[in-house]
Each structure stands twice: as C-alpha cells, then as structure tokens.
C-alpha cells in the first residue's frame, strides 16, 4: 500500500513509508531516506556512533516526522540523513 503526501517545502508527492521491523545499517537507512529525517527504533551504537536500527518512519518535513512518533516504542533515535551545510556550525 502506498500513501502519498504533498511535501510543502518541495511541492512534490512523497511516498509515506509503511512501518517495518527490518533492522537496517546506517548506510541502508541513508540510501532509503535520502535528504530527509528518520525515526529509528531500537538503535544500536558503538564507540563511533550509530550503527543500525529499525526504520520506523521517514519524511522530508522534520515536524511531520516527529509527529509520527506516538510514544509506543521505548527507544527511538531521530536523525537527519542528508548532507549538512558546511557553513553551519552546530553547538551542543
């Protein structure tokens, strides 16, 4: 089943993914999501960062993706999968 949403920023139809329990590596998730936001459940990390997890939902509008987290999953990880602008400095 495919569900399409109109992406307000890009003004194009974007497929809304179905929920799966497939464990994917970070590279597989990036390849599937492209330049979008992902909710990853049951994330696994090593000493260098995120390694793998279950892709729960993804999209191109950050706030819409965040709204898809219903709180039913205990461990979730939000991640932007696109390339970062090198002119932006992140302070944590």
Using CA atoms, how far apart are residues 66 and 39, in angstroms rounded to an integer?
8
Tell me, what's the pLDDT at 15? 54
What are the E-state strand segments in 1-92?
3-7, 12-16, 23-25, 37-46, 49-59, 76-80
Would you say the pTM of this structure is higher than 0.75? no
In the predicted model, residues of the chain with pLDDT beneath 70 are: 1-20, 90-92
């Amino acid at each position: 089943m495919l569900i399409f949403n109109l992406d307000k920023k890009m003004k194009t139809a974007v497929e809304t993914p179905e929920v799966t329990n497939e464990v994917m590596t970070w590279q597989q998730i990036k390849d599937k999501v492209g330049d979008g936001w992902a909710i990853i459940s049951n994330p696994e990390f090593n000493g260098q960062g995120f390694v793998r997890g279950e892709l729960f939902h993804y999209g191109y509008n950050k706030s819409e993706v965040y709204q898809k987290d219903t709180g039913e999953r205990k461990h979730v990880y939000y991640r932007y999968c696109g390339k970062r602008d090198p002119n932006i400095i992140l302070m944590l």
